[in-house]
Amino acid sequence: MIDFHSHIIWDIDDGSKDFRMSSDMIENSICQNVQCICATPHFIIDEQEIDKTVYHEKLNALKESYSNKINILSGIEVYINPNIPKYYKEKKIWGINDSRYVLIELPMRDYPIYTKDVFYELIILGAKPIIAHPERNLKIQQNMNLLTDLLDEGALAQMNAGSLTGMFGNHVKEFAEKLIRTNRIHMIGSDGHNNRSRKTDMLSAYETVGKLNKDLYQWMEENTNKIVKDIDITPLKIVEDKEKKFNILNLFNRKK
């Protein structure tokens, strides 16, 4: 099991506050049977840019402490910005495990007009953009085609484990389940920020994926490891939501 999104690097963003908290978060991941965790702190162009040297010093300290227990990989969560393609080209931002797969965050309540252009330009440059927790974006909740358009361009999507376990409320949970059922998600991340309120149950989330969509669960088992190895993958085809169709048929039958 791979955790594609975490904030375990201490004192670098709004995640872990110190080495001890980072250790607690990693120990929790180990207890959840996570074999690999991606350390992806926030990177905000012109506001919160990460010193790569400092980042790798802390990353390596965690790697050395847990070398025999869990694999810890590099990465960042880049906040959407028109200059992302420029930063990628200049190697100022980096992907998961220094791969082409770059995690990109959208605002929670907005969908910037330049979003699709940024993803398109990244793909032209050879990058493989990953949309971080799209299930929590208000505009995507209101219009799922915004996500589908990015996926059709070649982007991938990462879901937060907490979205499937109800951490962010029933509305997000139901929408997350719909994305899973229709093959619009490709990987799961804890998005863990600390060892208390943002400590997420990865194991339960993966089990939920298996219950909702066995084909997607199997695809994740076979393909998520390729992402951290920078290998090309072929996502499952997006399908119709059978649950919605089933509910409509039930409503029709009750009226009869």
Residues 5-40: pLDDT tens digits? 999 999 999 989 999 999 999 999 999 999 999 999
Find the mean pLDDT for residues 79-98: 98
DSSP string covering 94-140, please? Answer: --GGGSSEEEEEPPSS---TTHHHHHHHHHHTT-EEEEE-GGG-HHH
Whether residue 48 has pLDDT greater than 50: yes
Which tokens hold the place of 250? 């039930």
Tell me the per-residue pLDDT of 123-135, one tens digit each, with 9 for 90 and over.
999 999 999 999 9
How many Cβ atoms from other residues are within 10 Å of residue 90's Cβ?
Answer: 9
Q: 139 pLDDT exceeds 90?
A: yes
pLDDT for 213-234, tens place per residue?
Answer: 999 999 999 999 999 999 999 9
Give the confidence band of 200 by pLDDT, cuts at 50, 70, 90.
low
Confidence category of residue 195, pLDDT binned at 50, 70, 90: confident
Residue 142 is predicted with a pLDDT of 97
Predicted pLDDT at 241: 86
Domain 2-255: state its class: alpha beta
Q: What percent of the chain has pLDDT over 70?
A: 93
- Over residues 78-94, mean pLDDT: 98
Output the pLDDT for position 227.
97
For the chain, what are the domain ranges?
2-255
pLDDT of the residue at 199: 64
Least confident piece of the model among 150-159, 201-210, 215-224: 201-210
Which tens digits make up the pLDDT trace of 92-119?
A: 999 999 999 999 999 999 999 999 999 9
pTM score > 0.85 for this model?
A: yes
Mean pLDDT of the chain: 93
- Average pLDDT of the residues in 156-180: 96
- pLDDT of 140 > 90? The answer is yes
Report pLDDT for 252. 46
Nearest in space to 101 (alpha carbons), one of 79, 72, 123: 123
Q: Is 227 exposed, middle or buried, given 0-12, 13-18 or 19+ CB atoms closer than 10 A? A: buried
Q: What b/e readout covers 5-26, taking b as 16+ CB neighbours within 10 angstroms?
A: bbbbbbebbebbeeeebbbbbb
